[in-house]
Chains A and B, each alone.
Chain A
Amino acid sequence: MAEAARLSLTDEELQRYERQLKVILEAFRELDEVDTEGVEPSFHPVELEDVLRDDEASTWSWDPLANSKHREDGYFRGPRIQ
């Protein structure tokens, strides 16, 4: 799981989290007691109406790279893909 979540954990962290997460996941299983047959999932708490603005381009007044350390010619650099 840690690899899937892109976290490198120490052996101590792995052991501690394994113990703690087992307890938590076990507690979550209480939801099995709830009859949810035919009940829709609520991805959102309130029903929202779609609100669309006019399709007009707008610009930002700030520099989106203002916080970037690895910047070059108006781009930011990342690690190599391979």
Chain B
Amino acid sequence: MSVLERAHGINRRYRAFNHVAESLDAGDSGRLAGVYVSVKDNVCVEGMPSTAGSKVLEGYVPPFDATVVAKCRLEGAAILGKTTQDEFGFGTFNVNTPYGVPLNPHDTERSPGGSSGGAAVVTAAADFQHLAISESTGGSISCPASFCGVVGITPTYGRTSRWGLIDYANSLDKIGCMGKTVRDTALLLSVISGPDRYDSTVLYTPVEDYTAYAGEPVEGMRVGVPREYFGEGVDQGVSDSVWDGIKRLEDAGAEIVEVSLPFTRYSLSSYYIIAMAEASTNLAKFCGLRYGLQLPLEGSFDEYFSKVRSAGFGDEAKRRIILGTYARMAGYRDAYYLKALRVRTRVIEDFRRVFGEVDVLAAPTMPVVAPRFDEIAELEPIQHYMMDMLTVAPNLAGVPMASVPCGESDGMPVGLHVMADYLGEGDVIRAAAAVEAG
């Protein structure tokens, strides 16, 4: 069976793609020769419909490749298709989308996680050489990687170019990657990292060969276990499985140290205010004028915009636009938006201090294993947000992280989260590979 037929097969079973390539155009040399790369729907691929999981972008076909996609092609990769996601990344279970809701390959009554749900599903289900380009704003790579039992790396903010990404929140968005092993995932990270003249926030620090860190000894490495990440709301089975992973690091010669990040508990509110404020300004550009959903030109400017936006945005997008607009409004801006940015400084200071004491942090990625869809249907919006309690702090700080499978609970995969200081991708990969090898 051809790779395209297999991709269609994965899509029939698990609804993982919003679009599957019509043909595969691969190079015959380069670091990704022979590798099929799937791309989250919010990252533009020339000639493939790219909707970011939203009706407001229905029909949009980018005339260009995002920088990360162009870099993959230069290294010989074939682009397989566009993977499902929550609308613009607004979600933790990939249920906030007008298109197909993807299913977890380990148990199809459960969510694969979000927002990069399709990327994790294809990574788990592919029986061919596959790597996934995904994206995280508040945990959208780590969460689905954890729920589907694959590896997900979110790099330092600015390590990868955001050019060609359909933005959610500019000060938080990071393009990253998923794969079946730490080494494979590190290979994709090495390819997509680095400078880009089209992104003014990209970091110019030289890119390393990150695969060299997979398998490097962890002897003497100081691993911090933050007590705030094992508290209320974290399932015992998840916690036990993560401790098994931490023990493997200890057995390999790492030193385990208990640490504290006291501002963790405030990171969720800080994150959501900032993310919604930035999203509400970003989404203003979807007004039905040049691309995506375009209706007959009737009524005044305001009437036309309101009509397009009301028809094009889903429920969660509308909620976030209203909240974000409110948090930025005169009279509320100090109490919400600026306050959240000041708390963010506190969260960043937490990480800077603790990375003076330890090399990496190890914690559960998610407080639970993948929930069932009937359980998700019962949750209020605030309960959805609370599921991100362990992933938002490192995302708010912009430090690099990886989720690596460390065991099972309830028959479902559990992810261990490794976090390091800015540009500490090497340490993240070294520790994650040691957990994987154990």
Contacts and interface: CB of A to CB of B under 8 A. Distances in A.
Contacts of B340: 28, 31
Dominant SS among interface residues on chain A: loop
Scoring A28, A30, A51, A67 by chain B CB atoms within 10 A of each residue's CB, the highest score goes to A28
B322 A27 contact: no
Contacts, number: 163
Given A20-B382, A62-B64, A6 B306 contact: yes
B266 A31 contact: yes
A73 interface: no
A78 B295 CA distance: 10
A67 B59 contact: yes
Interface string B155-197: 0111000000000000110000000000000000000000001
B23 interface: no
Contact of A20 (B304, B345, B380): B380
Contact of A78 (B203, B270, B297, B322): B297
Interface in A19-73: 20-21, 23-25, 27-28, 30-34, 36, 39-46, 48-49, 51, 53, 60, 62-70
B382 A79 contact: no
Contact of B318 (A7, A42, A44, A62): A7
Contacts of B201: 44, 48
Contacts of A44: 157, 171, 201
Contact of A6 (B157, B299, B305, B422): B305
B280 interface: yes
Contacts of A31: 266, 269-270, 273, 339-340, 343
A30 B266 contact: yes
Interface residues of A, number: 52
Contact of A41 (B289, B299, B302, B345): B345
B32 interface: no
Given A5-B325, A41-B338, A34 B158 contact: no
Nearest to B385: A24
13 contacts: A1-B325, A1-B326, A6-B284, A17-B318, A20-B319, A23-B380, A24-B382, A28-B340, A31-B273, A41-B342, A45-B397, A67-B290, A79-B303
Interface of A: 1-2, 4-9, 13, 17, 20-21, 23-25, 27-28, 30-34, 36, 39-46, 48-49, 51, 53, 60, 62-70, 76-82
